[in-house]
Amino acid sequence: MLPPGLYEATFEARGDDTVNNDLAVGQWVMRCEARTLDDIRAMGGNSPEDERRFETAKRVSDMNLEAYRKYMQPWVKSMVTPQMAELMRNWHPARVQYEAFSSENPLMKTLESVADKTREQRKPVAQDNPFLAFQEKMSKQIVSSLDQWRDSQEALSEAMFLAIYGSPALQSAVGVDPKSTVSRRREMEPKHRELLQARIAELKSKIGSGGLREASIRALLYVGSVRGMVDERSLEALRRLRQTDESARVTLAQFKMLVREQFFMLLLDREATLAAIPRLLPESVDERRRAFAAIQEVLSASAEISGHVAQRLKQVAGLFGLEGQGNAIPSGPKARAS
């Protein structure tokens, strides 16, 4: 349900002093903080040698894909039926190894009853139990072996990549200049630009369309965006509101699309998008007040409403026609829906 963008996930320990800790799951509170491409560039970029290697790998991949589509794909399509494809998916080793030990396997019914009985009669063993010590030792050895295997495989893969795609002969063969120092930024294809412009025009035409749900999401995105982050507690509060809203008849996919569209409308023309909110609202003051209270509840789930957030929320209250109403404008260090 996050608006489109680039985010960094951060985690803070959850404690008794955590605001609305009942809205967080587990021992940590997850927060998605908005980032830009400049934040990634500040971490350091690829060297010119790496750029040439990645470009070579891309061109080789494109050539292989084109060869497959031209020579192999027609043959595969003529030989493989949808039933065969489904059978191959079902019998894939990665899938079979899980299903073989799942409850779908009738041979596992006996193990299920034994597991339940063992679980009921389970007793902790003494710390000096030799089997427990052996278990701990074996566990550490397995972890160490897997770590060494992973490191060796990664080192081998990296060495092969550098050797193959760093070859000047291969780079020249696919049209990459072995002496180039900078990568060219790819221009947007005309067809893609045409589709993009059509989508922009479509979104702008829908700015004045919708109802209370669209207006509420639009207002929530406008106010919440000033924080530059989304907290899992806010998302949980939004999820609970969505579940208790009897008028909600949209699927999760539809709701996500609604969030994306309202976000893009604000991005394209914020002033017009905000100015259209009053036209989307119902005449009932009670309905508008309940929607505004829901916005307050989501915003205050992770932090107090203050500063620029409070200023924008007051602006939204005006758009909702709730000026001067005591329980509509946030007051105090933390505003919650009454």
Q: Measure the CA–CA gap between 195 and 191, rounded to whole angstroms.
A: 6
Q: Is 287 inside a domain boundary?
A: yes
Q: Measure the CA–CA gap between 22 and 14, rounded to whole angstroms.
A: 10
- Strand 28-35 and strand 229-231: the pairing is antiparallel
Are 34 and 53 found together in one domain?
A: no
- Predicted confidence at residue 103, as pLDDT, reads 81
Are 141 and 245 found together in one domain?
A: no
What angle (nearest 5°) sits at the alpha carbon of residue 323, between those of residues 317 and 324? 135
Looking at residues 190-216, what average pLDDT do you find?
Answer: 93
Q: Is 331 inside a domain boundary?
A: no
Looking at residues 291-320, what average pLDDT do you find?
Answer: 90
Q: Is 125 inside a domain boundary?
A: yes
Q: Is 184 inside a domain boundary?
A: no
Are 65 and 149 found together in one domain?
A: yes
- Predicted confidence at residue 330, as pLDDT, reads 45
- Predicted confidence at residue 144, as pLDDT, reads 96
Tell me which residue range forms the domain holding 235.
207-319
- Predicted confidence at residue 248, as pLDDT, reads 59
Highest mean pLDDT among 4-13, 158-167, 314-323: 158-167
Are 212 and 302 found together in one domain?
A: yes
**pLDDT per residue over 7-64, tens digit each?**
999 998 888 888 887 788 888 888 899 999 899 888 887 888 888 999 999 999 999 9
Are 30 and 78 found together in one domain?
A: no
**pLDDT per residue over 9-19, tens digit each?**
999 888 888 88
Count structural domains, the chain. 3
Q: Is 245 inside a domain boundary?
A: yes
**Residue located via tokens 């497959």:** 68
Q: In what order do the strands lie in the sheet with 6-13?
A: 6-13, 28-35, 229-231
Looking at residues 172-196, what average pLDDT do you find?
Answer: 83
Q: Is 82 inside a domain boundary?
A: yes
Q: Is 307 inside a domain boundary?
A: yes
Are 20 and 53 found together in one domain?
A: no
- Per-residue pLDDT for 151 more than 80? yes
- Predicted confidence at residue 197, as pLDDT, reads 94
Q: Measure the CA–CA gap between 60 and 66, rounded to whole angstroms.
A: 10
Are 12 and 37 found together in one domain?
A: yes
Q: Is 110 inside a domain boundary?
A: yes
- Per-residue pLDDT for 80 more than 50? yes
Are 212 and 233 found together in one domain?
A: yes
Are 83 and 101 found together in one domain?
A: yes
pLDDT bin (cut points 50, 70, 90) of residue 315 is very high
Query: Which of 173, 194, 226 corresponds to the end of one domain?
Result: 173
Packed helices 285-299 and 212-224: angle between N→C axes, nearest 10 degrees: 30
Highest mean pLDDT among 129-143, 300-314, 322-336: 129-143
Q: Which of the residue ranges 68-77, 226-235, 274-283 would you say has the lowest mean pLDDT?
A: 226-235
Return mean pLDDT, the chain: 87
Q: Measure the CA–CA gap between 337 and 291, rounded to whole angstroms.
A: 10
Are 85 and 109 found together in one domain?
A: yes
Query: Which of 173, 190, 217 corresponds to the end of one domain?
Result: 173
Contact 29, 229 (CB under 8 A): no
* Three-state SS letters, the chain: CCCCCEEEEEEEECCCCCCCHHHCCCCEEEEEEEECHHHHHCCCCCCHHHHHHHHHHHHHHHHHHHHHHHHHHHHHHHHCCHHHHHHHHHCCHHHHHHHCCCCCCHHHHHHHHHHHHHHHCCCCCCCCCHHHHHHHHHHHHHHHHHHHHHHHHHHHHHHHHHHHHCCHHHHHHCCCCCCCCCCCCCCCCHHHHHHHHHHHHHHHHCCCCCCHHHHHHHHHHHHHHHHCEEEHHHHHHHHHHHHHCCCCCCCHHHHHHHHHHHHHHHHHCHHHHHHCHHHHCCCCHHHHHHHHHHHHHHHCCCCCCCHHHHHHHHHHHHHCCCCCCCCCCCCCCCCCCC
Strand partners, 12: 29
238 closest CA partner among 257, 259, 222, 264: 259
Are 54 and 138 found together in one domain?
A: yes
- Predicted confidence at residue 333, as pLDDT, reads 39
Are 217 and 295 found together in one domain?
A: yes
- Predicted confidence at residue 244, as pLDDT, reads 61
